[in-house]
Chains A and B, each alone.
Chain A
Amino acid sequence: MHETAPHAVHQHAPPTSFIRKHVFSLDHKVIGKQYYGLALAAVIIGMVLSWLMRIHLAWPTWPIPLLDKLSAVGAPGGVMTPEYYLSLMTMHGTIMVFFVLTNAPFAAFGNYFLPIQIGAEDMAFPRFNMMSFWTTFVAFLVMMASFFITDGPPIAGWTSYAPLSAVGGDAGPGLAVGQTLWAISIAIFCIGSLLGALNFIATTLDLRTKGMSLARMPYSTWAWFVTAVIALLAFAVLLPACILLVLDRTAGTSFFIPAGLVLSDKLQPHSGGSVLLWQHLFWFFGHPEVYIAILPSIGIVSHILPVFARKPLLGPRAAVGCMIAIGFLSYMVWGHHMFVSGMNPFSANLFSVPTLIITIPATILTLLLIGTVYGAKMRFTAASLFCIGFVSVFISGGISGFFLAQPSIDIYLHATYFVVAHFHFVMAVASLFGVFAGTYFWFPKMFGRMMNEPLGKLHFWLTFIGVYAIFMPMHYLGLAGNVRRYSAFVDDYMIPLIPVHKFITVAALVTGGAQLIFLFNLIWSRFKGPIASENPWEATSLEWSTTSPPSFDNFGGRHMVVYNGPNEYGVEGGAADYVMQTSPKKVVTS
C-alpha cells in the first residue's frame, strides 16, 4: 500500500535521566508498562474490594480484620455498614471498568505493541501519549482520595445514576465530597482516554512501515485501532456528561435534577432537569465501553491463538469485519440498559433488535476461534490455555446476552444477579483472560525474561475452574429473582438463596488467592526468569523481529519492510512452519 516507508521520526533522543527514562517518559514502551503497572495496582485493589463484599454478603456479622482501620465509620469493629458496602461496590465497579478493563488490554498492551507491530518507532504524538498516562494516573489518585475523606467513597454505583449522584449529601453518605471526586476523576480519565485514542488512530493510519498494508496488520492491532475509534466517540460523550454532573453538584445547575424532589426533608432547589438524560448519556458511553474492554482481548486472543495452534487464524478478513461491525453496532444498543427505565416502551424494540444482531458478529468471531483450534497442533502454554479459556468464558458470557437483550425477559431479570453473571463473564473475565494470555505471551518481549510455565498453567486451571464456580451460580440466583446491589438479603424469598452466596464467596476467595500465583510469577520472572530469545514462541509479527526487550527506537535503527501478513503459520516446504512478516520468502500456504 505504501510506496515509501513513512517512519515515525524519533524526535526525542534516548533519555538519560531517571525521571525522563522511567517517570515522564515519551517512550511508548515505558508508557505501556506504566499503564500495565497502574492496571495491576488497580486490579489488586478492585479484587480485595470484591473479597470484602463477598465476605460481607455471605457472613454479614463477621468482623473483617483491619477493615475498621480503613474506615472506622464505615466498618466499626470490622463489620461494614450497608452504606460502606455500597461504597466498596461503587469503587470496585469503577476501578475495574475504568482503571483495569480499559487500561490493561487497550492502553497497556496497545501502547507497548501497536507501534512495534506496525513497524513504527513510537506513537504519532509521544507527548500526548505521556500526558494520557499521567492524566489517567491523576484520575486514579482523585478516585482513591475518596477512601480517605470523612464521608467515604460514593455509594451510587459505577453508573452513578442521577438524581442520587446529583443532589449532594442530602441523598446519603458518600454522596457529598465522595461523589464529586468520582465525577471529577472520571472526567479526567476521559481526557486521558481521548488523548490515547487519538494517538492510536493517528499512529495506525500514518506510521505503518513499508509493506504494512491494513490487510497485513496483526489482529491485535486491528482490535486496538477499532477500539480507539470507539473510545474516541464514547469518552467524548462521557466527558461532558461528567462535567454537567459536577455542575449540578457544585454550581446549582439542574441538568439531571427535576423539580419537586424532597430529600432529607428538604425540598431541593432544582427544577427542569431530566433523570433519563444522565442515563442516555452514560449508556451512550457505557455500552461501547463494554466493547472497549472486550475487543482488545478478542484481538489479543486472535493474535496469540494461531501462534500456539501452529496454523492460521480461520477467516481473518471475516474476523476483522466482525470487529468493525461490533464497533459500529455498539453505538445503536445503549437503550437496552434502560428497558425498565420508563423511556418510551416502543423504543425498547428498536434497541433490542441491534442488540440481538450484535450477537451475529460475536458468534462468528467465536466460531472462527473454535475453527482455528480445529486440526491444530496445539502447543499448550499458559498463554494458549488462557486463549482457549477465553473462548469458553466468552461463549458463557455471550449466551446470557440473548436473555437480557429481550425487553420482555429483561422485565424479570433486570437488576438481578443474572446481569452480574452476564457482564462479569463476557466483559470482565473474558477481557482479563485476554490480558493474562497477553501477559504470558508478551512478557518475554517486554522484560527479556520468560515467565514460569508450570506456575502459569497452575494459575490457569485454578482461575478457569474458579470463575465458573463464582459466576455460573449467579445465573441461578438471578433466575430466582435475587436482586443485585443489596448489602444484605433480608427478603423472605431471598433468604433461602444465602447458601449459594456462601458458595460463591468461598469460590471468590480461592480464585482470588490463585491470582497471587500470577503476581508472584510476574515479579519473580521479572528478575529471575530465564533470558528470553528474540522470538521464543516462533511467531510471525514484527515485535518478534527485534530484541527482547526492544531497543529505544524499537528496531535498532533498522527500517522494517513487511512482505507478508501475520497469519503465515502451518507453512510447508521450509525448515520452519511459519514465515515472519519481515521475511521476503515466498509463502506456500498449505
Chain B
Amino acid sequence: MGKLFAVIVTVITLVSVYFFVRHTWWLPVDISTTGLAIDHQLDETMIGTGLLFVAGQLLLGLFVWQSSDKNPSRKIRIFPGGSTPLVTAAIVLVGIEILTLTFVGSKAWAAVNIAPAAADSVQIDVQAEQFAFYFRYPGPDGVFGGLHPDKIDDGSGNYFGLDPANDVAARDDIVVGSLAVPVNRPIALTLHSKDVGHSFYVPVLRIQQDFVPGLEIPVHFTATQTGKFEIVCTQLCGLGHYNMKAYIEVMPEDQYEQWLKTQAGQ
C-alpha cells in the first residue's frame, strides 16, 4: 500500500511538473515595459517553489515507501537530529526565499503601482459599467469635461455623465467603446465605475486593477508592440460579467494621431 502511494504521488508530481516546464498552457506574450520584471518574478518563484514541491512530494513518497516495510523485527526510527534540522531548514530556506522574493518583487510592484505615470503620458479616462468599458479622450482642447453622475444616460450615449450644454471642456471629449493607444508612449488611465466593482485586466500588459465605485484609480503602462488585444473584467459585476470585455488597439504613433483626428471630427 505504501509503495503504491509512493508510485502514485511520484507520477502525479512528474505529470504536474511536465506541463509547467513545457509551458503547455502559459502566459501570453508580454507587450509592456513593466511585465518583464513580473515575468521574471514569476519564473523565479516557479523555480524556487517548484523545487520545494518536487522535494516535498518525493520525500513524502520515499518515506511512505520505506515505512511500509513489514519486517516485524524492524524498529521505528526517529528523524536524524529530531525536529531541529527540519525546523531550521524551514526557517532558513523559506526565509531566504521570502527575503529574496520580497526584495526583488517589491521593485516589480513599485514600477507598476507606486511609480507615478510619466508627465507626458497620454491621459485617458475609463468608465466601467454593467457590462461594458468606455474610454474618453480629452479632445483637441486637452481638457476633460467634468463628470455628473446624474447626467449619465446610456440611451443617448452619455456614458460618463458629461454636461456639454454647460461645460465647454466636455464638448470635444471623445468617448469610444474601444481603447486606442500609441505604441511606445506612456499611457495614464483613470478608472471610474458607474455602478458596481469591475476590473481592468489585460493579460498581455500584465495589468490588473479594480474599478472601485467612489474612487478614481490611476493605472499606467507603456505598450511596446502594435496589435489588438482583449481587455476583460475580472471583478464579479453581475449576470453579464463573463461577457464584459473590450479591445485595446496599440497603433503606430502616426496612425494613432490620425485616429484621434478622425474621432474628433465625428
Contacts and interface: CB of A to CB of B under 8 A. Distances in A.
A156 interface: yes
A388 B193 CA distance: 48
Q: How large is the interface on B (under 10, 10 to 19, 20 to 34, 35 or more residues)?
A: 35 or more
Contact of A409 (B9, B16, B105, B155): B105
A493 B238 contact: no
A488 B239 contact: no
Given A161-B236, A359-B94, A171 B196 contact: yes
A356 interface: yes
A109 to B, nearest CB: 24
B215 interface: yes
B45 A409 contact: yes
A134 interface: no
Contacts of B95: 360
B225 interface: no
Nearest to B68: A378
A506 interface: no
B61 to A, nearest CB: 8
Nearest to A414: B208
A267 B239 contact: no
A86 B153 CA distance: 27
B152 A262 contact: yes
A31 interface: no
B242 A481 contact: no
Interface in A485-505: 485-493, 497, 500
Contact of A86 (B91, B234, B241): B241
B83 to A, nearest CB: 3
A214 interface: no
Contacts of A132: none
Contacts of A86: 236, 238-239, 241
Given A261-B195, A480-B25, A489-B242, A403 B49 contact: yes
Given A267-B150, A341-B210, A491-B245, A409 B76 contact: no
Contacts, number: 325
A185 interface: no
Nearest to B106: A349
B217 interface: yes
B242 A480 contact: no
Contact of A388 (B60, B75, B203, B212): B60
Contacts of A396: 16, 53, 57
Interface stretch (A63-71, A189-197, A287-295, A368-376): A368-376
A173 B239 contact: yes
A407 interface: yes
Contact of A479 (B27, B63, B67, B97): B27
B105 A315 contact: no
Interface string A465-483: 1001000110111011101
Output the residue of B12, B45, B53, B210 with the most chain A CB within 10 A. B210
Counting chain B CB atoms within 10 Å of each CB, the highest count among A82, A374, A489 belongs to: A374
Contacts of B114: 345-346
A408 B112 contact: yes
B259 interface: no
A385 interface: yes
Contacts of A167: 196
Contact of B67 (A260, A309, A412, A465): A309
A163 interface: yes
Given A163-B213, A173-B239, A479-B26, A375 B76 contact: yes
Interface stretch (A115-123, A227-235, A270-278): A270-278
B217 to A, nearest CB: 5
Given A380-B68, A407-B113, A258 B90 contact: no
A590 B75 CA distance: 10
A309 B106 CA distance: 43
A50 interface: no
A402 interface: yes
A406 B1 contact: no
Nearest to B214: A258
A314 B109 contact: no
Given A173-B239, A395-B53, A364 B78 contact: no
Given A360-B91, A370-B63, A490-B243, 4 more contacts: A312-B78, A373-B60, A395-B52, A408-B112
15 contacts: A163-B197, A171-B196, A172-B130, A275-B214, A276-B212, A311-B76, A359-B94, A367-B87, A368-B87, A392-B60, A409-B45, A480-B26, A480-B27, A490-B245, A570-B76
Closest CB pairs A-B (n = 10): A315-B83, A258-B214, A375-B77, A83-B239, A260-B149, A408-B108, A476-B25, A486-B242, A481-B203, A380-B1
Interface of B: 1-2, 5, 8-9, 12, 16, 19-20, 24-28, 37-38, 41-42, 45-46, 48-49, 52-53, 56-57, 59-60, 63-64, 66-69, 74-79, 82-84, 86-87, 89-91, 94-95, 97-98, 101-102, 105-106, 108-110, 112-114, 129-130, 149-150, 152-155, 161, 193-197, 199, 201, 203, 206-210, 212-215, 217, 230, 232-243, 245
